Structure 1
Amino acid sequence: MQSVQDQQDIIQKVREVLDKYEARLGEINQKIWSKPELAFEEHSAHDNICALFDSLADEGYVVKRHAYGVETALEISYTHGKGGRVVAFNAEYDALPGIGHACGHNLIATSSIASFLATAEAMKALYSDKIGFSARLLGTPAEEGGGGKLHLIDGGAYKGVDACFMVHPFPVLSGAPDLLSSSSCTGQYLANDKVEVTFTGKPAHASAAPWEGINALDAVVAAYVNISMLRQQILPTQKIHGVVLRGGERPNVIPASTTVDYYIRSETKKTLKPLTERVLKCFEAAAMATGCTVEYKWDAAYTDMKNNRPICDSYTSAMNVMGYSTILDAVGQEGGLSGGSTDMGNVSYEVPGFHGGFYIHTEGVNHTPHFTAGAGSEESFKRSLYCAAGMAVVGCRVLADDGFAKAIKADFEKDP
């Protein structure tokens, strides 16, 4: 498995499998993109992916709907022989409110489905008489909010997995327009705390007797100003941003209850904790100054991405061998995006993980209507398949190459 010829055999078989399924993959991609569904409501995406593999049951694919206690999660598995290693591929398919697939999760799902198919069938063709192995496709809802992968972690979806893969689309880099992808092997993805904060005051007539009230909107304004001043004193890699969900009902009523939603991000989960504590003091000070009470509702916390260098290096090498221009990392490139967060980070602390980036032609950045349009193009679909090929080649190496698997495990076991 360690020879150049072995890799060429894998590449050839992976490409054959992707050619075989391209039309069906294109259909799935368009079905997901054309019917965007929000977190934990991805019923059509769930059903369409499961239906694809129902039609392939004779090939050995086993479908588990509503997996791990999550209504819109799924697991498709392929097992050959006894024992052996396990690789998994994460398929995201949730969209954003009002702007659809503005982060291209249809392409993430498509690339992972394609890579799962290519890995399973290439391994079956090349190694069926030599080793046992398993491949797993996990449908992971609610990445944009809700932390679907955290539910799957708690349910045991990643137990026994030797490596887990996915890729994410971004706009084409202005400084490297011919680049197809990167392995994103340094700190591009930030640890993220998410909190909804409610201030409670006391209503009163805003004109006739304002002194009888306690203004919860003033607490929002004070907290916003506090955090804006705090931003001057934090690291460039740290981010704090929020919106007002409820600011009051009518101008002539002192607002008695207001709510804000904030994201707090830092380079690692270790550095995130003290930053979050500083942000909480901003909310507490606002409550104290205005006489309000304050309550916190926490959403799923995302960790930073614990990158696995052997996987990143292997992916970069395989992509370039296949003619798909790829670099180890896009951070620092002109136009390179950084500062996002993902629940794949949590997975990467459970098992060796890979969260690569690939670049599509679009007039806007992620989370804009322009990106939504770009995510639905035929060219973007093709680019997702190129990256699927790279992940599949690495996935086959994990399953077939003992030395490579040991290097991955050793890197994973290092302190983050």
Structure 2
Amino acid sequence: MGAPGADVAGAGAKGADVNGADVSGAGAAGAGAEGPGRDPVKAAIRERVLAHAGELVGLSHRIHAHPETAFAEHRAAEWTARALSAAGFEVTAGAGGLPTAFSASYGSGPVTVAFCAEYDALPGLGHACGHNVIAAAAVGAGLALAPVADALGLTVKVVGTPAEERGGGKALLLEAGVFDGVDAAMMVHPGPFETVRFRSFALGTLDAEYLGRPAHATLAPHEGRNAADAMTLAQVAIGLLRQQLPRDWHVHGVVTAAGEAPNVIPARAAASYEIRAARAEDLAALRARVEDCFRGAAVASGCELNLTRPEPDYLDFRDDAGLAELYAANAAALGRPAPVEREPFAMTDMANVSHVVRAIHPMLDIGAGGAVPHDAAFAEAAAAPAADRALLDAAVLLAWTAADLVRPPAGA
């Protein structure tokens, strides 16, 4: 079912009222007598985004109304890919061997720019990170650039990237070669503030399982090996370790199993942990110290230990200064709020791409009224009129920045 007031199948009229939001004002500064409004290429790009406003907002709302979690985004991937296929993009489903990923290409220029479309949701919270906006903005940038791609010397790609919240979809796609040959990768993330230079922690995951020996807690405790005690020892060791960790190293986790009956010595205990550091290079050292805590507890308790990594490490984001400058200038010309600089506060698998490909990951304020991502109120805001306007601005800004990447500076 389409969003209220939005034509999911076809392009909306320029300047149409979409879901109660007047999108004719989106990026109004860009159409004035100054700045990009005087640039015929940028004017055409913006006009094309507005011409597809209804379709883009409809796609965003449709994904929002049908949240799908990591590696289960079958409908979102299909809807996003279909919007591109209908516009003449060559679409490859199941990119990188991931069923809910895709790669869509248009044009044959020597410079390849990829827009990343995230569309996974959070368990129990739906689109409380606004990935519906990200997907629609990536599609919008692709649709806007397609008619001028060859003239600009661009190959335009939109990559459907599942499992950002958990699973490291982009890391897996990177390893599978989906980003091979890409000269620049971009995406815009909705947020509670505006920023250009995104900063993120590197993130590693760790699952620990202790296997002991069950026994009656009163009649034969000496026959048992207590897996729950092993987990307690590990947690105490990690708690003490935190006292000596650098300020930007973090360890946190939850116990997911620790026995079932108080009169039976637990034969199995399990926990899921995360480690974070400001730099990817520090993750290995932090992981070694945390794993030693688990190993020491195994020795002390006489239990067997299994340590696994459930997903790829998320690296720290390293944006490209040149791309960031181009984006910042376009955001100012479009009338977006002044960006703020923030310390690392989140994680993203887009960071893995940024270690290999020139990349940016700006954030756009969607007017969430103080709500932050991963909050139920943010999920509601991600389909509100302010978010609709932000996604159209995001599509324009991504496309403008890609165009600037292959054109000489003004006056050159």
- TM over 0.5, shorter chain: yes
Q: Give me the whole-angstrom Cα distance separating, in 1, the residues matched to 2:269 and 2:85.
A: 48
Q: Which letter maps to 2:353? A: V
Residue 392 of structure 2 is matched in structure 1 by 385
Q: Which letter maps to 2:178? A: A
The answer to whether residue 357 in structure 2 is matched with residue 355 in structure 1 is: no
Residue 51 of structure 2 is matched in structure 1 by 20
Between 374-383 and 85-94, the greater mean CA deviation after superposition:
374-383
Alignment match of 1:169 (pick from 190, 195, 214): 190
Q: Is the 8 A contact 1:115 1:388 kept in 2?
A: yes
The answer to whether residue 196 in structure 2 is matched with residue 183 in structure 1 is: yes
Q: Give me the whole-angstrom Cα distance separating, in 2, the residues matched to 1:262 and 1:104.
A: 25
Compute the TM-score of the two structures, normalised by the length of structure 1.
0.85
| Deviation string, structure 1 residues 324-362 (Cα, Å, up to 9, x no partner) | 1232x5315xxxxx3321111111111101111122314
| Deviation string, structure 1 residues 259-301 (Cα, Å, up to 9, x no partner) | 1111111111112221111111111122222221211111211
Residue 163 of structure 2 is matched in structure 1 by 142
The answer to whether residue 331 in structure 2 is matched with residue 319 in structure 1 is: yes
Q: Give me the whole-angstrom Cα distance separating, in 2, the residues matched to 1:289 and 1:364.
A: 45
Q: Give me the whole-angstrom Cα distance separating, in 1, the residues matched to 2:227 and 2:350.
A: 37
Structure 1 residues 14-413: aligned runs within 5 Å: 14-57=45-88, 61-80=89-108, 83-121=109-147, 123-124=148-149, 128=151, 131-172=152-193, 181-185=194-198, 188-298=199-309, 299-327=311-339, 329-331=340-342, 338-360=344-366, 361-401=368-408
5+ residue gaps, structure 2, are 1-33
- Coordinate RMSD, CA, aligned: 2.1
Q: Is the 8 A contact 2:83 2:139 kept in 1?
A: no
Residue 175 of structure 1 is matched in structure 2 by none
| Deviation string, structure 1 residues 225-256 (Cα, Å, up to 9, x no partner) | 22222222222222211111222222222111
Q: Give me the whole-angstrom Cα distance separating, in 1, the residues matched to 2:143 and 2:47.
A: 11
Q: Is the 8 A contact 1:316 1:326 kept in 2?
A: no
Q: Is the 8 A contact 1:107 1:375 kept in 2?
A: yes
Q: Which letter maps to 1:321? A: A
Task: Give 1:33 shift.
Answer: 0.8
5+ residue gaps, structure 1, are 173-180, 333-337, 405-416
Q: Is the 8 A contact 1:86 1:399 kept in 2?
A: no
Alignment match of 1:9 (pick from 16, 19, 40): 40
Q: Is the 8 A contact 1:364 1:371 kept in 2?
A: yes
Q: Give me the whole-angstrom Cα distance separating, in 1, the residues matched to 2:284 and 2:387.
A: 38
Task: Give 1:31 shift.
Answer: 1.2
Change (3 A) 1:95 1:362: farther
Task: Give 1:6 shift.
Answer: 9.2
Q: Give me the whole-angstrom Cα distance separating, in 1, the residues matched to 2:250 and 2:218.
A: 39
Q: Is the 8 A contact 1:193 1:265 kept in 2?
A: yes
Change (3 A) 1:10 1:326: farther
The percentage of counterpart residues that share the same residue type is 35
Q: Is the 8 A contact 1:87 1:399 kept in 2?
A: no
Q: Is the 8 A contact 2:205 2:274 kept in 1?
A: yes
Task: Give 1:7 shift.
Answer: 7.3
Q: Give me the whole-angstrom Cα distance separating, in 2, the residues matched to 1:19 and 1:182.
A: 23
Compute the TM-score of the two structures, normalised by the length of structure 2.
0.86
- SS in structure 2 at match of 1:49: helix
- SS in structure 1 at match of 2:187: strand
Task: Give 1:145 shift.
Answer: 1.4
Task: Give 1:154 shift.
Answer: 2.2
Q: Give me the whole-angstrom Cα distance separating, in 2, the residues matched to 1:293 and 1:224.
A: 16
